[in-house]
């Protein structure tokens, strides 16, 4: 359509319409994704490819050395149902994970409440209580294996103070060994849970406590009605870390008891190691690892959904 002369003059007098600034700024500020490509390739090479190959080997009878192997389908997984050691290892894994989660977080919360008070030595106590968490787990396990031996420092101390009846074969008794492992893990990581709870406690505004105290609420009431709901994020983190760490536990169990006595402390992780490197049943051990991965995924996802719902309700 041809414009009239007066329309052309009016169009010339108009200011040009500027281009959308938002899209230009976004384009300039967008990071070049090819910077991430080397890290993604390394992650795929180190994690994704071995994981996919491992899942494939779980359906074979590979012995870990012979390049020839056969595809056996679900035989490795069906063999777990009839394997008493595998069923016992699953039970021990769940038992250890639940015990560690409950005891470690309970002790960590008590320690956090203690060092969050106005005692003069609270900063020094924080350092000492957190120190075991930075020690390598295998070193801690070997240290406690010597302390808890039949002639170790623990039994010697009990005998020195007249408690001879309390002396035990802490790592050799099938009824005590599993709980001894739990105690060692809690001793090492209770300080870690303490630090997370302490961060949550220090984020609670003091004004809320002062208002509750003015309303006549005692220490227990203030903790339950004021502090506990505001600790929901810290509790979520602690429970997630402890349950996942408990299910995957290997170093402490293997260094303390090697899964013994007998199979009294065998977990899925220790059974994977034994089946792979002692018996040469790599296909079966990888199938166990797949089951362990599924257990971790289901437990962590279910726990996260439940805790996040409670966290939203508390807020």
Q: What is the pLDDT of residues 187-236, one digit of tens each?
A: 999 999 999 999 988 888 888 877 877 877 777 888 888 888 888 889 98
What is the C-alpha to C-alpha distance for residues 223 and 233, in angstroms, rounded to an integer? 15
Task: Give percent of the chain with pLDDT exceeding 90.
Answer: 51
Q: Which residue has the tokens 């349950």?
A: 243
Task: Give percent of the chain with pLDDT exceeding 70.
Answer: 88
CATH topology of domain 99-268: MetI-like fold (1.10.3720)
User: What is the model's pTM?
Assistant: 0.82
Find out whether 241 and 254 touch, Cβ atoms under 8 Å.
no
Q: Is the pLDDT of residue 12 over 70?
A: no
Question: Can you read off the two tokens belonging to residue 177?
Answer: 């060994």
**Overall average pLDDT of the 3-16 stretch:** 52
Give the model's pLDDT for residue 118: 73
Q: Is the pLDDT of residue 34 over 70?
A: yes
Q: DSSP alpha helices (H): ranges in 218-281?
A: 219-222, 228-230, 232-247, 251-256, 268-277
Give the model's pLDDT for residue 140: 94
Give the model's pLDDT for residue 31: 65
Give the model's pLDDT for residue 9: 46
Q: Is the pLDDT of residue 18 over 60?
A: no
Of residues 64 and 287, more confidence is placed in 287
Q: pLDDT band for position 173 (50/70/90)?
A: very high
Q: pLDDT band for position 41 (50/70/90)?
A: very high
Q: Closest Cα to residue 104, out of 197, 174, 178?
A: 197
What is the C-alpha to C-alpha distance for residues 191 and 137, in angstroms, rounded to an integer? 14
Give the model's pLDDT for residue 305: 84
Find out whether 59 and 74 touch, Cβ atoms under 8 Å.
yes
The whole-chain average pLDDT of the chain stands at 86
**Overall average pLDDT of the 62-79 stretch:** 89
Question: Can you read off the two tokens belonging to residue 313?
Answer: 């309700």
**Overall average pLDDT of the 73-86 stretch:** 92
The pLDDT tens digits for 281-291 are 999 999 999 99
What is the C-alpha to C-alpha distance for residues 241 and 234, in angstroms, rounded to an integer? 11
Residue 162 Rama label (left phi>0; alpha psi -120 to 50; beta): left
């Amino acid at each position: 359509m041809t414009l009239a002369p007066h329309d052309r003059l009016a169009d010339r007098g108009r200011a040009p319409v500027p281009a959308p600034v938002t899209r230009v700024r976004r384009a300039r500020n967008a990071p070049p994704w090819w910077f991430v490509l080397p890290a993604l390739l390394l992650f795929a090479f180190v994690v994704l490819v071995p994981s996919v190959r491992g899942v494939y080997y779980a359906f074979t009878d590979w012995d870990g050395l012979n390049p020839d192997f056969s595809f056996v389908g679900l035989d490795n997984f069906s063999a777990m149902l009839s394997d008493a050691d595998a069923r016992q290892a699953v039970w021990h894994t769940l038992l250890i994970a639940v015990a560690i989660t409950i005891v470690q977080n309970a002790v960590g919360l008590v320690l956090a409440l203690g060092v969050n008070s106005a005692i003069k030595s609270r900063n020094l106590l924080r350092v000492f209580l957190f120190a075991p968490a930075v020690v390598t787990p295998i070193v801690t396990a070997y240290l406690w294996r010597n302390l808890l031996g039949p002639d170790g420092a623990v039994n010697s101390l009990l005998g020195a103070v007249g408690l001879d009846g309390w002396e035990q074969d802490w790592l050799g008794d099938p009824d005590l060994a599993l709980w001894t492992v739990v105690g060692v893990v809690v001793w090492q990581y209770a300080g870690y849970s303490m630090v997370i709870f302490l961060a949550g406690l220090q984020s609670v505004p003091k004004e809320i406590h002062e208002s509750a105290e003015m309303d006549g609420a005692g220490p227990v009431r203030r903790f339950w009605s004021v502090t506990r709901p505001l600790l929901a994020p810290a509790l979520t983190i602690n429970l997630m870390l402890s349950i996942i760490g408990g299910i995957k536990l290997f170093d402490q169990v293997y260094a303390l008891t090697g899964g013994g006595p007998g199979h009294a402390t065998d977990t899925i992780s220790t059974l994977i190691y034994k089946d792979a490197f002692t018996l040469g049943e790599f296909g079966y051990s990888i199938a166990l690892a797949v089951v362990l991965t599924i257990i971790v995924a289901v437990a962590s996802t279910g726990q996260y959904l439940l805790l996040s719902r409670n966290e939203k309700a508390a807020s």
